[in-house]
Structure 1
C-alpha cells in the first residue's frame, strides 16, 4: 500500500468515526397562527416571495444574540429547513388557513397572482441579555399585476423565554413568530 493511499484511508476512517460519534441535532419547526382578523378577499390570490435575510439568518442555525455585536448558534439545535424557506412556507400556510383568500402559494406553483408579499427577516433570535425571543419582519404588499407597492409595514414581537433549555427558547421564538405572522396576514387582508 502506498503512503498516499494509507494516509487517505486513515483520514477517511477518522472522518467516519467522528461522524458516528456526533449526536444528531434536535430539529424544530415553526407554526403560523392563521389570523381571524381582516376582511375576506376570496377573489385574490397571494404569492409569498422568497424572504430576504442576512447570511447569518439564511441557514438552519438558531441564532442567539449574546451581547452587543456577538452572536452564537443554539447548540445541538436546528430549524427543519433554512429559516427563510420555513418562514415563507408558514406565511403561505397562514394565508391559506385563514380561509380569507382565494389561494396562497410560492413561486413556481402556477397560481394567477393578484398580490405579492415580499418580506425581509430583520431579526429572528433569542436575546440573552433580555431573556426574550425577538422576531422582526418587514413586509411589502405588491400589486402583482402592475408592480406597484401598495404598502409596507414592520412587524415585531418579543416573547419572554419561560423556562430553560433549547425547547423553551424555541417555544418563545415560535410564539413570537405566531404573533408576527397573524399581524402580517391581518394587515395584508385589510390593505389589499
Structure 2
C-alpha cells in the first residue's frame, strides 16, 4: 500500500509557512552540499529494561513537507523555515530517524525481532511515528540555535490497525556554538534523548506483555 505522504505532510504545514531557500549567506541558504552528516543511535538504557518476546516493525516516520528532505532545517520565526548552506543529512530526515531508531532498539536488546516495515517480518506490533519538529531554532541574529526535536509515537496492531497506545516526546538542546558541526552535535543529543524515551516507553508498554495471537 502506498503511504499518502504528500497529503499527510501538507496537513501539518501552516498556510503561512514561508520557504526561504535563497538569498542568504554564511551558514544559511542554498548551494550544493559539501558536507554530509548522520546521527547516532542510543546504546545505553536502564539496567532493569524488560525483554519482550515480540516482533516489532518500525514504519518510516511521517513528516511535514519542509522536513521530508535531506536538507538540515532551521527556523528564525514561528512561520518560516530555511536550511543550512553546504550541509545535508546523509538521507531524508524520516529515513535518517527511522534508521537511528531501529538501531537504538537493536542496541537495547529488549525486543526479540525488529525491522523496517518493508522487510516482510510478520509483526506482532508496528511502531508508527510522526516528526513534528526537527529543526534548529534561532531567536537571535548571532547567537547559537536551540535544537527542537518532537516526535509522536503510536503502537499499532498490524492486523486490525488499531492504535494500542499513543504518546509524544520532545527535547530541546542548546548548541554551544553557531557552527554546523556543533549544531549537528546538538541535534544528536536531542534526537538521542527522544529515541531513548521511545525505546523505554515501547518496551515497558503493557500491551507488549500480551503477545498477539
**Greater relative contact order (CA < 8 Å, ≥ 6 in sequence):** 1
Q: Which residue of 2 aligns with 1:154?
A: 168
Q: Which residue of 1 aligns with 2:7?
A: none
TM-score scaled by structure 2? 0.76
Q: Which residue of 1 aligns with 2:147?
A: 133
The runs of 4+ residues in structure 1 deviating greater than 6 Å are none
In structure 1, which of residues 167, 187, 190 is the aligned counterpart of residue 201 of structure 2?
187
Give the aligned length: 170
Is residue 170 from structure 1 mapped to residue 184 from structure 2 by the alignment? yes
8 A Cα contact 2:33 2:85, kept in partner: no
Q: Which residue of 2 aligns with 1:7?
A: none
**Following the alignment from structure 1 to structure 2, what is the Cα–Cα distance between the partners of residues 146 and 34?**
32
TM-score scaled by structure 1? 0.83
| Structure 1 residue 35: Cα displacement | 5.2
Local SS of the residue matching 1:90: helix
- Which consecutive unaligned segments of at least 5 residues does structure 2 have? 1-30, 209-213
Local SS of the residue matching 2:71: coil
8 A Cα contact 1:35 1:183, kept in partner: no
Equivalent runs, 1:46-65 vs 2, <5 Å: 46-65=56-75
Q: Which residue of 2 aligns with 1:8?
A: none
Is residue 40 from structure 1 mapped to residue 54 from structure 2 by the alignment? no
Equivalent runs, 1:10-89 vs 2, <5 Å: 24-34=33-43, 36-37=45-46, 38-41=49-52, 43-89=53-99
**Following the alignment from structure 1 to structure 2, what is the Cα–Cα distance between the partners of residues 112 and 70?**
42
**Which digits, 9 at most, give the CA deviation of each residue in 1:76-104, with x for residues without a partner?**
11000000011111111111111010111
Cα 1:154–1:23 change in 2 (3 A) is: closer
Local SS of the residue matching 1:178: helix
Local SS of the residue matching 1:108: helix
More helix by share: 1
| Structure 1 residue 136: Cα displacement | 0.3
In structure 2, which of residues 103, 109, 112 is the aligned counterpart of residue 99 of structure 1?
109
- Which consecutive unaligned segments of at least 5 residues does structure 1 have? 1-21
Pick the structure with greater CA Rg.
1
8 A Cα contact 1:136 1:155, kept in partner: yes
